[in-house]
């Protein structure tokens, strides 16, 4: 019986493909595309998959899926023996002007891969190539999902709505990863909540417009909106139990256009982050109660309007899957390279896919900063000042080590389930 890929063999295989990985990564970085408009990106992914002899599918508009069913040990025409693993990478970029000075910087004005999705797509393509070239080392089915629209929380839902569950085998486990501004060559894992649920909310409040010199004839929505903003600051500080995580941010307040006109409406944009579904419902209920109450107290002529959008689910890692994948990482990368990650208050839509299938998942982080630079910044307490974070116009992962680690991590995590010698990587 064939054995799984040894750590040394995997290191060699991925290193040999580094020029190809680098070319892919630089192509994606140079040519970023916004959420749900990743047409050229999807085309390039399809080209690479087809060149490997696979038959990619378009699902969810610009989403791409490829399935490797390794039936070599099951006999011709039969279902592959072994588990089914789904691995996902997001592929969209951000509406941001790049300011990295990289020779392969974005050539698209106002659009940038500032969150590492170019590295995610590259690493998943690398993992597919390694698994495709080493079919004797594993048994089962591998599903690679290149998901659009993560930055707008639209992509995972679009793929599910477009029949993902019916068009690929049902996985036993789902995997995903994200580059972060930590030391390249390291991997962070954690069981339980790892990324917060996120909800954006537009609130429109109605007043009665008037001349600025005649405020007694108006219901001033500017004053009303201001009182709402102040009162909303008490939701987390006075209604959520101390020690329980919740963030409520008013990111925008817009009203009026001229100094001597009292407008007839105002608009507020809010963002909510929580780790607990019950706390999420509590915060949302408090927001709506406060807004309605303030509008009533001001004598608003119409009820406020609430529009929820960019809603992200909670990402909560399954303990069993996380333990299995973490053990595989420690075995391959060594214990010094794998650490227990902290929860992140950002949000993701990845979990919509495994939740739709009803399967467990884990989501880990991969470092992307030159290790010496990162250690120096940590020693001086200057990480937040000197290390550009995701969504920064200066975000520029250390190329080689980030790509090597992210690609190996995808393969190692998959082989934790698919390896012929279970757990041997």
In sequence order, what are the beta bridge partners of 70?
140
Tallying the residues shown for the chain, one arrives at 425
d(CA 67, CA 78) in angstroms, rounded, equals 15
User: CB count, 10 Å around CB of 201?
Assistant: 21
pLDDT at position 70: 85
d(CA 376, CA 54) in angstroms, rounded, equals 44
Q: Which are the contacts of 338, defined by CB distance < 8 A and separation ≥ 6?
A: 186, 187, 188, 189, 326, 329, 330
Q: 0.95 exceeded by the pTM? A: no
Kindly give the residue spans of alpha helices, DSSP state H, lying in 93-203. Answer: 117-133, 155-161, 164-167
Buried b (16+ CB within 10 A) or exposed e, 59-89: bbbbbbbbbbebbebeeeeeebebbbbbbbb
**Residue 261 CA neighbour count, 13 Å, CB half:** 9
The pLDDT tens digits along the chain (425 residues) read: 244 788 889 999 999 999 999 999 999 999 999 999 999 999 999 999 999 999 999 999 999 999 999 864 443 333 567 899 999 999 999 999 999 999 999 999 999 999 999 999 999 999 999 999 999 899 999 999 999 999 999 999 999 999 999 999 999 999 999 999 999 999 999 999 999 999 999 999 999 999 999 999 999 999 999 999 999 999 999 999 999 999 999 999 999 999 999 999 999 999 999 999 999 999 999 999 999 999 999 999 999 999 999 999 999 999 999 999 999 999 999 999 999 999 999 999 999 999 999 999 999 999 999 999 999 999 999 999 999 999 999 999 999 999 999 999 999 999 999 987 543 33
Q: Which are the contacts of 59, defined by CB distance < 8 A and separation ≥ 6?
A: 65, 159, 162, 163, 164, 167
d(CA 191, CA 209) in angstroms, rounded, equals 53
């Amino acid at each position: 019986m064939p054995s799984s890929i040894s750590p040394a063999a995997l290191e060699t295989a991925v290193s040999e493909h580094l020029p190809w990985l680098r070319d892919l990564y630089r192509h994606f970085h140079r040519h970023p595309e916004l959420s749900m408009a990743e047409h050229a990106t999807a085309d390039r992914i399809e080209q690479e998959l087809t060149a490997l002899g696979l038959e990619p599918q378009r699902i969810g508009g610009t989403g791409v899926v490829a399935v490797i069913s390794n039936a070599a040990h099951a006999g011709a025409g039969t279902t592959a023996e072994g588990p089914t693993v789904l691995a996902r990478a997001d592929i969209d970029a951000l509406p941001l002007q790049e300011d990295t000075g990289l020779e392969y910087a974005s050539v698209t004005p106002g659009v940038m891969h500032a969150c590492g999705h170019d590295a995610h797509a590259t690493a998943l393509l690398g993992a597919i190539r390694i698994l495709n070239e080493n079919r004797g080392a594993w048994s089962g089915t591998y599903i690679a999902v290149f998901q659009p629209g993560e930055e707008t929380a639209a992509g995972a839902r679009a793929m599910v709505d477009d029949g993902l569950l019916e068009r690929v085998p049902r996985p036993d486990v789902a995997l995903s990863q994200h580059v972060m501004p930590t030391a390249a060559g390291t991997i962070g894992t954690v069981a339980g909540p790892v990324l917060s649920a996120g909800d954006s909310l537009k609130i429109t409040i109605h007043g009665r417009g008037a001349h600025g010199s005649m405020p007694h004839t108006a219901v001033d929505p500017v004053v009303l909106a201001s009182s709402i903003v102040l009162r909303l600051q008490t939701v987390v500080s006075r209604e959520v139990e101390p020690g329980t995580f919740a963030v409520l941010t008013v990111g925008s307040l817009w009203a009026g256009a001229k100094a001597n006109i009292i407008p007839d409406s105002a608009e507020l944009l809010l963002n909510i982050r929580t780790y607990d579904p019950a706390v999420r419902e509590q915060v949302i209920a408090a927001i709506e109660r406060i807004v309605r109450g303030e509008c009533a107290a001001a004598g608003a002529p119409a009820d406020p309007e609430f529009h929820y959008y960019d809603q992200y689910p909670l990402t909560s890692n399954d303990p069993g899957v996380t333990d299995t994948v973490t053990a595989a990482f420690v075995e391959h990368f060594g214990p010094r390279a794998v650490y227990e990650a902290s929860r992140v208050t950002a949000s993701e839509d990845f979990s919509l896919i495994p939740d739709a299938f009803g399967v467990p998942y884990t989501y880990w982080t991969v470092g992307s900063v030159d290790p010496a630079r990162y250690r120096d910044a940590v020693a001086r307490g200057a990480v937040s000042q000197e290390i550009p974070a995701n969504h920064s116009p200066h975000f520029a992962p250390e190329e080689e080590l980030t790509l090597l680690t992210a690609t190996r991590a995808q393969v190692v995590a998959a082989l934790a389930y698919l390896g012929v010698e279970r757990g041997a990587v």
